Amino acid sequence: MNLIMDSSWSLRLKPTGPIPLPFEEPEDFIHEIYGKILCGKNHRGKDQIAGLFRIYYADFELGQNHNVRAREILDTYQHTFDYADAVLDSDETSFSRRLHNLLGNEIGNFNFLILDRVELLPKYRGNGIGLLVLRSLIERFGAGVGVVGMKPFPLQLERKDATDSRWRRRLRLEQFPSDSEISTRKLRNYYHRLGFVRMRSTPFMFRSLSWTLPTIEQLCAEVRR
């Protein structure tokens, strides 16, 4: 069975907090979007959870209209602020020259989408589902975005958090190699299938929204190789 072509896949967003009016603070211009990855129903007719995801949409252009600097917007979260030096120019009014060079100057709007994490349960791994989810997130939330970024980091190397121990046990991260260099290289190769390219001397990968996404059929072919 080709799981990536199964039409039962869907994303369910978790409710977000209130959006203040008018926009004033830097955190008003970055949107955390997260939820569940679902694969049909189980034998009891309930949603079958295959994993979790989290992304961030940084609306730099709207921030500029309200005199809020892009670096301040990214500073809402530490893990989004980590991108600031790589993606912003010195006056924070456009993407960095380094990023333009990396992406061949094929950048449109000055908004930034961060694919923060995708976590899949063991039974759904190895079939290209992660690529399908990432592709769908880019398509669904990429409107008005110029660049998509991500940080390939092996989840098994993260510091354990007691608050998520039950979910972490279900992920069985101990099944993955503990070698950081090997695991990170494997992730980079995986995300390269969606067109992401590595920015040297940083932990990040990026792609332009002006680049065509691979089709689902192309992703299937990549998985079969």
88-128, pLDDT tens digit by residue?
999 899 999 999 999 998 898 999 999 999 999 998 888 88
| 30, β-bridge pairs | 58
Structure pTM?
0.91
Range of the domain at 22: 3-224
Quickly list DSSP for 83-146.
Answer: THHHHB-TTSSSB-HHHHHHTTT---SS-EEEEEEEEE-GGGTTSSHHHHHHHHHHHHH-TT-S
Sign of the torsion angle spanned by Cα atoms 16, 20, 21, 27 = negative
Asked whether residue 153 carries a pLDDT value surpassing 70, the answer given is yes
Domain tally, the chain? 1
Q: Which tokens in the block code for residue 191?
A: 């995300």
- Give the C-alpha separation, 117 to 59, whole Å: 19
- Give the C-alpha separation, 80 to 58, whole Å: 9
Asked whether residue 198 carries a pLDDT value surpassing 90, the answer given is yes
Cβ burial 6-18 (10 Å sphere, 16+ → b, else e): eeebebeeeeeee
